[in-house]
Homo-oligomer: A and B are copies of this chain.
């Protein structure tokens, strides 16, 4: 009926013409989303394609069509807006990732993930920034300052966890998935802290105190964001358990879960924290407690509804990026010197490749030092896969680039427009070319992924004999994870794996003794009907 209002409006009031344009844009966009889903479904068994590339390709083709029909004035249906991306599209994706992640794998590899995500991103940032400074200084690049070079380092250090999720499979390669995805979440936080630092700190007076301040800032962000997410998740579990929502309405349970997850993200935004980390941990806590406190139909609904929302948001992003890439304004400044543009893009792509290699292989080597058995080590093939799977750059890079290079109306400046178009080129090239080659590469490098699954799921990280003395008695809930005939670990290994292992053990005791009675969780809810569906869902969800 909203339409009907407009059916007469164009005749009477020209100012409402934009309303009608936005209806056309939304309609076309939704139709394209449907097309992406159908085509993605048909290409599911294709060995090269994935949904991201399909959406990008459809977005690009639509952009071309719009460009031709509009006579070269515009290529996108909607303007690229950071807000749309950070406020509406990213939260459901990251929340769902936390909600569906295999928590055992994630926490088991927590140290390695943090190493890759924080130290690795820092290494990548330094290499890309240094490389850009050294290589671009010689070229005619217009008005780029030190801050711009450092910003490009931070921008291109942000890997695209969305695309990674589509390429790697949590069930086939759980270790790689948890490493690459976990790294992606920490990496996003790191990139943004770096980006902020580049924008806000006075870079001309770099000294140790500012460096310490940066490190302190990162730790503060990481801890507070995590705590906020955990608190929001626990609050939702407590409310639903205490008020017994299922009694009256399934829909209220689902609604309160969605809204509280979103609230945690927005609160993090409000307090200048990392919304990504917050909503990720909120998802983990919700799947550990809240999800077990709701009725069975709410469980099925949330599991699939969150996945669907995330799925739609992902396709939306890639379609959007594909369409926006052709926007003519950005390219018009660059078009008179295509050589420079190509050179810059190639250099940046090279730096991305080198920057990632420079931390994946050394840090894997470091991580392998802590693992005695040959089975546990991250093999060279797996290292190459980790390196490759994190090469894609996506919407986060685009959003940061727009923030840095367009916000003061500087798009007409030569340096800024080269940087924006180069970022777009890197994003498109890495997503399409690297993305296309990832599936075959994973199949080539890890042919026995079934074997890998078994190897990893029985991965003996800490020997039982090592935990038991610490605790003084034999009762533990992790017996299945531990192989009894392991040698004593090396000291570096102790350093890296012991904290998370014993923390996990104490956590389990704490969880059973205090958390679950208060916040609910698996097996603690009296009103769960024990149907077959429910049991199979429990198994699917893991712990």
Contacts and interface: CB of A to CB of B under 8 A. Distances in A.
A269 B6 contact: yes
A78 to B, nearest CB: 13
At the interface, is chain A mostly helix, strand, loop or mixed? Answer: helix
A200 interface: yes
B305 A254 contact: yes
Given A258-B312, A263-B34, A1 B41 contact: no
Interface stretch (A59-67, A243-251, A423-431): A243-251
Contact of A30 (B11, B263, B301): B263
Interface string A1-45: 111111110011100100100111011001101100110111010
Interface string A375-393: 0000000000000000000
Interface stretch (A188-196, A204-212, A283-291): A188-196
Contacts of A300: 297, 300-301, 304
Interface residues of A, number: 92
A312 B24 CA distance: 26
A53 interface: no
A150 to B, nearest CB: 14
A178 to B, nearest CB: 21
A270 B27 contact: yes
B38 A311 contact: no
A268 B196 CA distance: 45
B255 A311 contact: yes
Contacts of A307: 250-251
Contact of A1 (B31, B260, B275): B275
A245 B307 CA distance: 15
A82 interface: yes
B304 A196 contact: no
Contacts of A269: 2-3, 6, 23, 27
Given A1-B90, A23-B266, A297-B304, 20 more contacts: A1-B396, A2-B85, A2-B86, A3-B270, A4-B192, A11-B200, A27-B270, A30-B259, A30-B262, A34-B256, A34-B259, A34-B260, A38-B239, A42-B243, A251-B304, A251-B308, A252-B311, A254-B304, A301-B304, A305-B305
Closest 3 CB pairs of A and B: A2-B86, A7-B272, A3-B269
